[in-house]
Chains A and B, each alone.
Chain A
Amino acid sequence: MKLHRINALVTRHLYLYRRSLPRMMEIFYWPFLDLVIWGFITMYLMKFQDSIPGAVTFFLGALILWDVLFRSQQGITISFLEEIWARNLMNLFASPLKPSEFLAATMAMSLFKVAAVSIVMSVCALVFYSYNVFTIGMWLVPFVINLVLTGWIIGVLTTSLIMRFGQEAEVLAWSMVFLFQPISCVFYPMDVLPAWLKAIAWINPAAHIFEGMRTVLTTHAVPATNLAMASGLNLLYLAAVVGWFHYTYNVCKDRGSLVRVGE
């Protein structure tokens, strides 16, 4: 991998964000709106604090962490879509750029988005709802790292599908991640799921993170099992989807569809 090629692609996307209000809104407006809505819901639920202990920390914490996953996925998929919309894939893949470098650049963009959104949401939660996301403690760091990895997995999977099936599959960029939301147990514990869905959730790394978050907030216990499960599953799935991305890239080259993705 050559850093200058990754850097060039990241620079290309940063140029894009620098002068695009809609793209900046995507980073700041929607997360802020989410926070406002869930903040009011949480304030309402606080009236029942006795029956739902820790409602504030659960919901706002879960919302901020879910946005980490969502923006991480978007960082990958939207970066790919930007190349399709700009009809730039031919320029990129006829250059010495490797598919792995392309992925690395989208991952870097994903980190940029996650950092921006997390800062905005954390500050807003603190200012408007006096909620400090760091109440989760030092476990926040491995939680966030794992959620970023899960976002990458869904992002690379979605990108591969768009590359394979063309721009018609573009809607997946926004919808795919929500397929995982019910089994990520973001706002409720895994126990509420029916047995068959619980079995599916159990192999979803994000579900272990949100379970871990609730464990930390309610019992202050070390979520070692949750973290180990999430990390193991993430590494396994990430290797699989990166392999699948390369396979899809080669299939598209074979079918001659790589340069026609946006047509």
Chain B
Amino acid sequence: MASPVVQVRNLTKRFGEFTAVNGVSFEIRAGEILGLLGPNGAGKTTTIQMLLGLVTPTSGSIHMFGRDLATHREEILQQVNFSSTYISMPYALTVEENLKVVGGLYGLSSIPQRIDEVVKKLEMEDIRHKLTRKLSSGQMTRLTLAKAFLTEPKILFLDEPTASLDPDIAYKIRALLKEERRASGVAMLYTSHNMREMEEMSDRIIFLQKGRIVAEGTAKEIVTRFGQADLEEVFLKLAREQ
């Protein structure tokens, strides 16, 4: 079994009296896709933001590649990237310009070549010189994915990466992510509200509720444990128990 590239131990985040994440522990192994599931407000986004070093945990630890994020932020984030439907890229720059800036931020050695590869992979040739403000939401999602792929990360955090895409593009993106995992061994933390997608994509799933992990295992194991027909039924059962 591959060694864990992400190790989270007793991660807790409190905002005043409110506990957003409460003693969460999990691991992600190299080449693994871990699904992070939970209703709105369960703590998924806060967890991802802590993993990206954007929010400081109240307690607990985050290790990636065996190093503590609190003390090795720069070298860890060099090998990490993320994509989310809810983020944006500078509107006044073209797709290519945005990718060049990202390449520079991560110190890539052959930026034009990497951009060519990623643009081709994500079928973005036609929008390469388009201003970002003129992109559709689906094209914007592809741009944020391109940004994530560009740096060839070893860990990828994907927050609802297909939420704004039509079924055809969403299918292609999922296929691409699986191919990327197979080819490069990138580990992924994946969130989605599409249960079929979660079942398809995730090797394992952790289910968050009120900041705590309430279920963990493969989709099949979780469905069996809760005695429901499918993952969506489990989600509805747990979400309504809140």
Interface residues of A (CB under 8 A from B): 2, 4-5, 7-9, 11-12, 15-16, 19-20, 82, 86-88, 90-98, 250, 253-256, 258-259
Contact = CB atoms under 8 A, between A and B. Distances in A.
Contacts of B52: 90, 94
B101 interface: yes
A86 B97 CA distance: 14
A253 B55 contact: yes
A96 B87 contact: no
B194 interface: no
B104 A11 contact: yes
A88 B73 CA distance: 19
Nearest to B92: A16
Interface in B139-187: 147
A88 B77 CA distance: 16
A120 B121 CA distance: 46
Nearest to A10: B104
A12 B90 contact: yes
9 contacts: A11-B101, A15-B92, A86-B91, A86-B92, A88-B90, A94-B54, A96-B73, A97-B105, A259-B54
Interface of B: 13, 15, 20, 46, 49, 52-56, 73-75, 77-78, 80, 82, 87-93, 97, 100-107, 147
Contacts of A11: 100-101, 104
B87 A90 contact: yes
A253 B74 contact: no
Contact of B105 (A82, A95, A250): A95
A11 B92 CA distance: 13
Nearest to A17: B92
A92 B105 contact: yes
Output the residue of A82, A90, A93, A94 with the most chain B CB within 10 A: A94
Given A15-B93, A91-B147, A4 B104 contact: yes
Nearest to B144: A91
A256 B91 contact: no
Contacts of B80: 94
B90 A16 contact: yes
B93 A94 contact: no
A87 B13 CA distance: 24
B49 A259 contact: yes
Contacts of B147: 91
Nearest to B88: A87
A8 B54 contact: no
Nearest to B46: A256
Contact of A254 (B56, B78, B82): B56
